[in-house]
Amino acid sequence: MTTHPDELAGLTGLLTDQERAIAQSVRALAAREVEPHVADWFERGEIDDPRGLMRELGTLGLLGMHLDGYGCAGTSATEYGVACLELEACDSGLRSMVSVQGSLAMYAIWKWASEEEKQRWLPGMAAGEVIGCFGLTEPDHGSDPAHMRTRARRDGADWILDGRKMWITNGSLADVAVIWAQTDEGVRGFAVPTDTDGFTAHTIKHKMSLRASVTAELVLDGVRVPDSAAFPEVRGLRGPLSCLSEARYGIVWGAMGAARTALECAQRYAVEREQFGRPIGGFQLTQQKLADMAVEYTKGVLLAVHLGRLKDAGTLRPEQVSIGKLNNVREAIDICRTARTILGANGISLEYPVIRHANNLESVLTYEGTVEMHTLILGQKLTGQSAFQ
């Protein structure tokens, strides 16, 4: 008789009936559409039908689900978080697909674009018919986007964009790219249709992480867009950072999904696998690993729920998201690596989900602000001193 980690600390009791129902339906979608194929996609480094998958996610109302209007579901932040957890329990690539569409591309347009642009893009994006990406990182500017080189200059009533964006999730699938560029007025955002002349996307190969996810380099070579494509109000990094805070919040939950899958797998394996004439789960060293994993998983979920409730109350601050992103991704990757040791040689095989999750989390550790960046954000809050430069 074993106890599921969620039952150990009574985690499911923290959620409302509605939150549990959303978890169930997302879990069912992932089990039906992705789970049976994801190890193969990871091995091949490509998703069979990403557009079809995006439409499925749209049908379930998962795209921009916590946004209001324009065909979005308008759920609570906690419900969105619960969905992220279930998506990432399947694969971080699946959660990334949803995060980039909803929390980065759609949120940027929903929050900052003109009404005309919102009407143009958001309903199709919510339905999964139109795919978006979010271009902030550049080949030479990742953690330090303030010095980005991509530039937008006025040309009559239009803007001309030139530059390169790197490591862009959904980049070569996207119909619309949110591009952040330097202008004479500071950094500004643009919703750029990807079929505009001068825009090209090149899929990045040879990734050893997040392989069931499309990542691309975007090249903008004299891309001309009308003034209506520019986000009218926002100037400076406040624009992209507001979007990153949304996506980071989803990761706080998502990382615990990857951790849960690894922990469940290791727990099952420890009970079934016998060495020296007894289940390896009977050895104290294995029990210590499982207990430590369960404790960190419990703490991570508690933190996610806490931040979700703060977000629903409208009081969540960026540094609180940093606590969650820093802790939960760091602990999730540790849980996956420990789970891998419990599986012995099987731990390195894609026949089990553990190494896939561990490798995926290497990306999650880096994107949306590296561990070091979130550490410095917290350090600055604690000391009043900025250590960034």
Q: Assess 212 for contact with ligand FAD (CB under 6 A).
A: no
| Residue whose entry in the numeric block shows the structure tokens 């932040």 | 77
Report angle CA 152, 157, 158 to the nearest 5 degrees: 35
Q: Catalytic residue at 368?
A: yes
Please identify, using beta-carbon distances, which residue of 76 and 215 lies nearer to ligand FAD.
Answer: 215
Q: Which residue minimizes CB distance to ligand FAD? A: 142
Buried b (16+ CB within 10 A) or exposed e, 97-118: bbbbbbbbbbbbbbbbbbeebb
Please identify, using beta-carbon distances, which residue of 206 and 278 lies nearer to ligand FAD.
Answer: 206
Residue type for position 72: C
Please identify, using beta-carbon distances, which residue of 26 and 136 lies nearer to ligand FAD.
Answer: 136
Q: Assess 16 for contact with ligand FAD (CB under 6 A).
A: no
Say whether 16 sits in a helix, a strand or coil. Answer: coil
Check residue 234 and report its DSSP letter. Answer: -
Neighbour tally for 385: CB within 10 Å: 8
Q: Assess 366 for contact with ligand FAD (CB under 6 A).
A: yes
Element (H, E) at 152: strand 151-155
User: Which candidate in 79, 217, 331, 368 is catalytic?
Assistant: 368
Q: Assess 199 for contact with ligand FAD (CB under 6 A).
A: no
Element (H, E) at 252: helix 238-272
Q: Assess 45 for contact with ligand FAD (CB under 6 A).
A: no
Q: 321 and 353 in contact (C-beta within 8 Å)?
A: no
Q: Assess 372 for contact with ligand FAD (CB under 6 A).
A: yes
User: Shortest Cβ distance from residue 63 to ligand FAD (Å)?
Assistant: 15
Q: Assess 210 for contact with ligand FAD (CB under 6 A).
A: yes
Report angle CA 232, 202, 41 to the nearest 5 degrees: 110
Q: Assess 215 for contact with ligand FAD (CB under 6 A).
A: yes
Please identify, using beta-carbon distances, which residue of 76 and 137 lies nearer to ligand FAD.
Answer: 137
Q: 98 and 64 in contact (C-beta within 8 Å)?
A: no
Among 167, 249, 269, 352, binds ligand FAD (CB under 6 A): 167
The CA-to-CA distance between both ends of the chain, in Å, stands at 54
Q: Assess 142 for contact with ligand FAD (CB under 6 A).
A: yes
Residues from 116 through 135 that contact ligand FAD (CB under 6 A):
134-135
Q: Which residues are catalytic?
A: 368
Which residues of the shown chain bind ligand FAD in the complex (CB under 6 A)? 100, 134-137, 142-143, 167-169, 210, 215, 363, 366-367, 370, 372-373, 388
